[in-house]
Structure 1
């Protein structure tokens, strides 16, 4: 006994009946197109492809040092009411892991420890910080790193923003000092 399948009576029903297989194939193929970006992001966040997309290098801060990297090689992103933010990653040197209590990052020289900037969070082997980019940041600004030791000592170092993040420098130049 064979059953006859009735064709839908509406034009939309007939169209769906005819093209449903092709639509299902598209639902499989479209996500596959985004897989390379997904796997690149996964390797970046796991640390399999280094600290970030762009390694800045070793920065000496007093007796300690850290490796610094941009998470993404792009300009700052608008994060709603917080303003524009730029993400950096860092890894402490092997000898200073037990000595460093906290590490901070800021654009412009901090006035005190209370204004030291964004704190790095995470394991000492891979720490992350989201740095706010002030609206009136000048093109020749410096990125200041402050490290606080368990013994209460403070050490600071600076690197030019153009060296730390050329993409942010280009973004600032493009904005032309607009708030």
Structure 2
């Protein structure tokens, strides 16, 4: 009898038949490793986890007060050629939602309402905005909050960037004014 006929078949088919069960178990276990982050994100998006990181509560802006928090405690993320952005959440106080038309965020004091910055969108209890972070910004810069009232008036307040987002201030210090 030929010895080649008695050896078990080798190759991909043999390997697949032997390991397919184990590979299927991996396909179930790998997504489970990402579940804690997913559930933490869902808590944050539903509002159960608060507004976010480094909450700056009750910032007086005109006759209203605003709470500001960064979405994640991380450096700004690059969004292609548009540059670097940081996501912030805003919330008006429960008693002061009447009379506010729009809320804007910007690094550096805006010259006018036309240059007020990125607009917050969403409900008054949880607004989201994606704030552009220029690379040449100094780490001691301020985030300016601009409220536009239905009466046409503009109200402003500022928060130090290092308090609102320490990771962004550290990232800017590391950049060192690079273009």
The TM-score range, normalised by the shorter chain, is over 0.9
1:33-84: per-residue Cα shift (whole Å, max 9, x none)?
1111110111111111001133122211111111111111111000112110
1:94, CA displacement in angstroms? 1.8
Structure 2 SS opposite 1:48: coil
The residue number in structure 2 matching 1:68 is 68
The residue number in structure 2 matching 1:120 is 120
Structure 1 stretches of 4+ with a deviation exceeding 2 A read 7-10
Query: 1:61·1:157 contact (CA, 8 Å) conserved in 2?
Result: yes
Query: 2:135·2:175 contact (CA, 8 Å) conserved in 1?
Result: no
In structure 2, stretches of 5+ residues that fail to align are 1-6
Structure 2 SS opposite 1:139: coil
Matched ranges for 1:61-100 at <5 A? 61-100=61-100
Indicate how the Cα distance of structure 1 residues 39 and 113 shifts in structure 2: closer, same or farther if over 3 A, else same. Answer: same
1:163, CA displacement in angstroms? 1.1
Query: 2:53·2:72 contact (CA, 8 Å) conserved in 1?
Result: yes
Tell me the TM-score normalized by structure 1. 0.92
The residue number in structure 2 matching 1:177 is 177
- Could you tell me how far apart the structure 2 residues matched to 1:104 and 1:87 are? 13
**Cα RMSD for the two superposed structures:** 1.4
- Could you tell me how far apart the structure 1 residues matched to 2:85 and 2:114 are? 20
The residue number in structure 2 matching 1:144 is 144
- Could you tell me how far apart the structure 2 residues matched to 1:116 and 1:97 are? 20
The residue number in structure 2 matching 1:109 is 109
Query: 1:54·1:72 contact (CA, 8 Å) conserved in 2?
Result: no
For the pair 1:131 / 2:131, whether they are aligned, the reply is yes
Tell me the TM-score normalized by structure 2. 0.92
